[in-house]
Amino acid sequence: MIIHNLSEKNSILHQFMAEIRDVNVHNDRLRFRKNIERIGEIMAYEISKVLNYKVQTIETPLGISNIPLISDPVVLSTILRAGLPFHQGFLEFFDSAENAFVSASRRYNADHSHFEIVFEYLSSPSIEGKTLLLVDPMLATGGSLDLAYKALLTRGEPKAIHVACVIASEQGIEVAKTIFPKEKTVIWAAAIDPDLNDKAYIVPGLGDAGDLAYGEKI
C-alpha cells in the first residue's frame, strides 16, 4: 500500500493547513470551509496524476487535438457532515464523477467518556469496477472509514481505491492498512500527526472538523 504525505514537500498547501489549525481563525466558519475545499482541490490534482488515461481526439475550430483524458469512471465518496467541503473541493476538479455519501458518526454516552461509530445512511451508485475516491477530512481511529468502506462495498467492488484525508493520525494510517486491500489502495494525507488524545481526537490536529465547518452539534 502506498502512503503519500503531502506535508513532506513545500507548497501553498501549507498556508491552508496553517489556517485550519490556527485557533485564532477558528471562529470564521466560512474561511475554514473554504480552506478545506482548497485543500481538496490540491489533493484532487495530485491524485489525478496517477489515474489511468486514454488519448481522445478533440475537434477544435481549426483542427484536431489529441489529449489524454482520464479513462476510468470515478466515484467520489465522502462521510457526512464534516466531509462536505472537502468533497466539494474534489468535485471542482472531478466534476464529471459520480457521487456517494455515507453517514457514519460518533455516538457518545451520557458523560462523553466513550463513543461508538454508528452507520445511518448510504446514497451511492454502483462502484463495481470503478475508481473509488473516499475523502474524509480526519482519519483518527479509522472507525468511520471502516464503516463507510463496508457500506460502499454493498454497491460493488472497486477497481482502485484512493483514500484522502486532510489530517491523519499515525494510528489511523495503521488501521487503514488493515481495512483496505493493499494491492489497489493508495492513501493520501495533507499531514500525518503523531498522537490521539483520550477522546480520540488527533493531536495536534485541529479539533472537530464538522463543528468548525458548521457549528457545534447537540
User: What is the tens place of the pLDDT at every residue in 90-131?
Assistant: 999 999 999 999 987 666 565 655 656 666 789 999 999 999
Q: How confident is the model at residue 217 (pLDDT cuts 50, 70, 90)?
A: confident
pLDDT at 199: 86
Grid coordinates in use for 183? Answer: 494491492
Look at residue 197 and tell me whether its pLDDT is greater than 80. Answer: yes
Look at residue 173 and tell me whether its pLDDT is greater than 90. Answer: yes
Q: What is the pLDDT of residues 6-41, one digit of tens each?
A: 999 999 999 999 999 999 999 999 999 999 999 999
pLDDT at 105: 64
Grid coordinates in use for 116? Answer: 461508538
Residue 133 CB-half CA count within 13 A: 33
Which ranges of 94-169 does DSSP label H, i.e. alpha helix? Answer: 143-152
| Average of per-residue pLDDT values in the chain | 93
DSSP state for residue 182 in the 8-state scheme: G
pLDDT at 194: 96
Give the β-pairing of 160-169 and 138-139: parallel
Tell me the CATH number of domain 2-214, given options 1.20.1250.20, 3.40.50.2020, 3.20.20.410, 3.30.450.20.
Answer: 3.40.50.2020
- Which residue from 46, 35, 212, 192 is spatially nearest to 133, judged by alpha carbons? 46
Exposed, middle or buried: residue 191 (CB in 10 Å: 0-12, 13-18, 19+)? buried
